[in-house]
Every structure is written in structure tokens, then in C-alpha cells.
Amino acid sequence: MTEPTALIVFAAALVTALATGLGALPLLSPRARERRWRAAGSAAAAGLMLAASHSMIAEGMALNGWRTLLGLVAGVGAIMLAKRVLQHPDLPGIEHLASADGARMVLIVGIMTAHSAAEGIGLGVAFGGGRDLGELLTVAITLQNIPEGLAIALILVPRGVPVLRAAGWAVVSSLPQPLLAVPAFLMVTVFASILPYGLGLAAGAMLWIAFSELLPDASEGMARGPMGTVAALSFAAMLAVTLVMG
């Protein structure tokens, strides 16, 4: 087997990014726009994000616990600041985002983009350790990106975004993977040292949005029991994907 090259790394990371768009396809059904499905979507997205956060924190802790913790705290602070900025009434050009729904959609896409940046760095670092390791992680991230794309679509589609456009936004949120995988591969030592910060940052942002936005939003459209069931099953499904590919 040939040694990995920058072109191979870019192509592999591009595949993982494109796979994210597949997660939106189950929502082609018009029922996704109903209130109960919107609530269920928020609960499912929360479960998926909590599972992704758990996996990223575990991975970061294995690399460097304190850097991961610092990144997690920074992620919470960053998302709180972003929310305040998005909801500022005098900020030009985003008047249509001042609503709770608009701000929430931007936050979701932004958080998943930060998450993808950490995954892109991790993929490049993995290829730096050899093609076998890089290809294994490519398959794992590709499969994980599909439910992550679903999490984005579950927020966007019930709020009026067309399914194909939601799929496009899901792919856009994963573009940091091919963009950062190549530099990480070429400068593996430098990027390996900052990977725990990135993992913690993305995990912190995901935890905040799950607890502060998605679960409260879900509770407005469904009872706590079903909401907890949907979130827990989504959490378990995402962990199952991680375990199968681990």
C-alpha cells in the first residue's frame, strides 16, 4: 500500500464531508414540519449532540485532560457570546436571525462546523500516523457524519428550510474537514498538540446548545417522558455507531 499523500488525505476528508448531507434525506417526508415532529427532532438532535460530545471529551481526555477541559470551558463561553451577538437588535444584516428560531439555526450550523474542524484535524493527524489508521478513521467519521447531518436537518427542516438546502448546509458544516485535514497531515506534530483544545471546544458548545436550546425547545411540543425517551435512544444510537467503528 502506498504512503498517504496530501491529495489522498483531502479526498478522504471530502468524502466524510459529503456524507453529512445524507443525514437530511430521511426528512423528505412532509410530516417533519408538524409541531410534534419538530419537538421530536429537537430531542433527537440533543441526544445525538450529547453522544458526540461524550465521544469527543473521551478522545480529548485520552490525549490531554487539562487541554480538553480548557477547550470545553472555552466552548461554552464562545457559544454564549455567539448567542448574545446573534440576538443583538442593532447588529446590521441579520435582522431575520433575531428570532429564537433563526438564532438557533445559526448556532446549530456553527457548532457542527466547529465539531467538524476538530474531526478534520483528527483525520489529518491519523493519516500522519499511517494510511491504515487514516482510512479506518475516514470510515468511522463518514458513518458518524450521517447522523450528525440528521441532527442539523432535524433543526432546519421543521423550521421551513427545504430538505435539499438543509443537506447543503450539513455539507457546508463539514467543509472544515477537508480544509484542515491536509494542513494537519503536513504538520502533524503542531496540530496534534492543539487537537485536545479543539475537541473540548466543540464538545462544550454542543453540551450548551443541547441543554439550553434543544431540550427546552422539545419540552414545548411533547411530554417529558417521550422527550427523554427520544433523546436517550438517539444518544444510544450515536454511541452504537461509535462503538461499531471503534
Per-residue pLDDT of 211-221, as tens digits, reads 987 898 888 88
> Higher model confidence: residue 62 or residue 159?
62
Closest CA to 71 of 56, 82, 81: 56
Residue 170, φ and ψ in degrees, nearest 5: -60, -45
Q: How many CB atoms lie within 10 A of CB 170?
A: 29
pLDDT band at 130 (very low <50, low <70, confident <90, very high): confident
pLDDT at 210: 86
pTM, rounded to two decimals: 0.74
Q: Which amino acid is at 47?
A: G
Q: Which amino acid is at 30?
A: P
pLDDT at 88: 53
pLDDT at 93: 44
pLDDT band at 245 (very low <50, low <70, confident <90, very high): low
pLDDT at 98: 44
Report the Cα 37 to chain-centroid distance in Å: 21
pLDDT at 29: 72
